C-alpha cells in the first residue's frame, strides 16, 4: 500500500509535466506560425512596390519607347523628336564617372580591409557611410560650387565628377564586404612566401574577391545612371547632341525625363515615359546581371 501510495504522486507529477510540456509546445508552434506569417506579409509588402512601379512604367512607357525616341534629336514645343542627345550624354557621363570613382572606391575598400585596425580606416569607413546617406541634391550643389561657378559654365565634366562622388562610397562599401570574405589563409600564404603587403593586397586579396567587387561597381553604375539632381546643377541639359565636348552642357536620360514630364504637350510626356522605361530596363538588366554573377560565384 505504501509503495502504491508513493507511486501515485509520481504518476500525477509526470502527467502534469506532460501537460505543461504539451501546452508549451503548442504555444511555441503558435508563435512560430504567427511570426512566419508576419515575415511573409512583410516580404510581400517589400515586393509589391517594385512590381507596381515596373508594371506602371511599362504600361505608360510602352507607347513612347520606339525607334524615333532612340535615334532622333530633341525638338522643342512638343514637336516630337527623340532622346538621342540624352542617351548619348548618359553613355558619356556615367562611364566617365565610373572610371573616376571606381579606382578610388576600390582602393579605399581595400585599405579598410587590410588595415582595419588603424584609426584612419575607421575614419574612411565612417565618411563613406555618411556620404552614402547624403541627399544627391547636396552633392549637386557641392559640384556646382566647385566645378561650375569657377568656370562660369555648366559642363558635362562637372556632371561626371558629381556622379563619381556618388559612386565612390557605394563601390567602397561593396568592395570592403566582398574582400572580407577572402580567407585569411591566402594572405598568410602570400606573406609567408615573402610577397610584400601591398602586392598581396592587390594580387591576392583583390583578385580573389574580384567577382564581388565587379558586382558592386555595376550596382554603383546603375545608381549613377538614374541620378537627376546632381546633373541639374552641373550638366544642365542640352537639346543639341554633344559628343566629346565635356566643357559644354550635355543632356542625360534623367534630365530628359525631368524636363519632358513637366511639359504641357502630350508628345513630350510620352517621350518622358518612354525614356523612363528605357532607364528602368537598364537598371533591371544590371541588377539581374549582378545577381547572376553572385549566384555563379556561390555555386563555385
**What distance in Å separates the CA atoms of residue 199 and residue 291, rounded to the nearest whole number?**
30
Task: Check: CB of residue 115 under 8 Å from CB of residue 179.
Answer: no
DSSP 8-state assignment for residue 237: -
152-to-159, 241, 243 alpha-carbon distances in Å: 14, 21, 21
The 10s digit of each residue's pLDDT in 77-88 is 556 689 999 999
Average pLDDT over every residue of 183-188 = 91
Task: Note the pLDDT of residue 266.
Answer: 87
**What distance in Å separates the CA atoms of residue 246 and residue 225, rounded to the nearest whole number?**
17
pLDDT for residue 7 is more than 60 = no
Would the CA dihedral through 286, 182, 206, 180 be positive or negative?
A: positive
Mean pLDDT of the chain: 88
Task: Note the pLDDT of residue 104.
Answer: 96
Average pLDDT over every residue of 146-160 = 95
In the block, cell 538614374 appears at 226
**Residue 146 CB coordination number (10 Å):** 14
Task: Check: CB of residue 251 under 8 Å from CB of residue 74.
Answer: yes
Task: Note the pLDDT of residue 299.
Answer: 63
The 10s digit of each residue's pLDDT in 56-99 is 999 999 989 999 999 998 876 556 689 999 999 999 999 999 99
Amino acid at each position: 500500500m505504501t509503495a502504491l501510495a508513493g507511486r501515485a504522486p509520481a504518476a500525477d507529477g509526470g502527467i502534469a509535466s506532460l501537460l505543461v510540456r504539451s501546452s508549451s509546445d503548442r504555444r511555441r508552434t503558435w508563435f512560430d506560425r504567427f511570426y512566419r506569417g508576419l515575415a511573409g506579409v512583410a516580404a510581400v509588402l517589400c515586393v509589391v512596390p517594385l512590381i507596381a512601379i515596373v508594371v506602371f512604367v511599362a504600361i505608360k512607357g510602352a507607347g513612347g519607347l520606339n525607334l524615333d525616341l532612340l535615334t532622333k534629336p530633341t525638338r522643342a514645343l512638343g514637336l516630337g523628336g527623340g532622346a538621342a542627345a540624352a542617351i548619348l550624354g548618359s553613355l558619356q557621363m556615367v562611364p566617365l564617372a565610373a572610371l573616376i570613382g571606381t579606382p578610388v572606391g576600390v582602393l579605399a575598400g581595400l585599405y579598410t580591409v587590410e588595415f582595419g585596425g588603424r584609426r584612419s580606416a575607421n575614419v574612411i569607413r565612417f565618411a563613406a557611410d555618411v556620404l552614402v546617406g547624403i541627399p544627391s541634391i547636396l552633392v549637386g550643389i557641392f559640384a556646382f560650387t566647385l566645378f561650375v561657378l569657377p568656370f562660369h559654365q555648366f559642363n558635362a565634366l562637372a556632371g561626371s565628377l558629381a556622379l563619381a562622388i556618388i559612386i565612390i562610397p557605394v563601390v567602397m562599401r561593396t568592395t570592403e564586404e566582398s574582400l572580407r570574405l577572402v580567407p585569411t589563409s591566402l594572405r598568410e600564404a602570400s606573406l609567408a612566401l615573402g610577397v610584400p603587403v601591398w602586392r598581396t593586397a592587390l594580387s591576392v586579396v583583390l583578385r580573389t574577391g574580384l567577382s564581388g567587387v565587379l558586382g558592386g561597381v555595376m550596382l554603383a553604375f546603375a545608381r549613377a545612371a538614374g541620378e537627376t539632381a546632381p546633373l541639374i546643377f552641373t550638366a544642365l541639359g542640352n537639346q543639341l547632341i554633344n559628343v566629346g565636348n565635356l566643357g559644354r552642357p550635355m543632356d542625360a536620360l534623367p534630365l530628359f525625363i525631368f524636363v519632358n514630364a513637366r511639359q504641357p504637350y502630350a508628345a513630350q510626356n510620352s517621350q518622358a515615359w518612354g525614356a523612363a522605361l528605357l532607364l528602368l530596363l537598364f537598371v533591371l538588366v544590371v541588377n539581374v546581371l549582378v545577381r547572376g554573377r553572385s549566384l555563379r560565384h556561390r555555386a563555385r
